[in-house]
Amino acid sequence: MDIYVGNLPYSATDPDLQELFEQHGKVTSARVILDRMSGRSKGFGFVEMPDQSEGQAAIEALNGSDFMQRAIRVNESQPKPAGERRSSGGGGGFGGGRGGDRGGDRGGERRESRW
CB 94 within 8 A of CB 107: no
**DSSP annotation of 87:** -
Predicted TM-score of the model (pTM)? 0.70
Domains and CATH numbers, the chain: 2-45+54-73 (3.30.70.330)
26 sits in the region (left: phi over 0; alpha: psi -120 to 50; else beta) called: beta
Interval 12-30: pLDDT, tens: 999 999 999 999 999 999 9
In the structure, what pLDDT confidence band is assigned to residue 81 with cuts at 50, 70 and 90?
confident
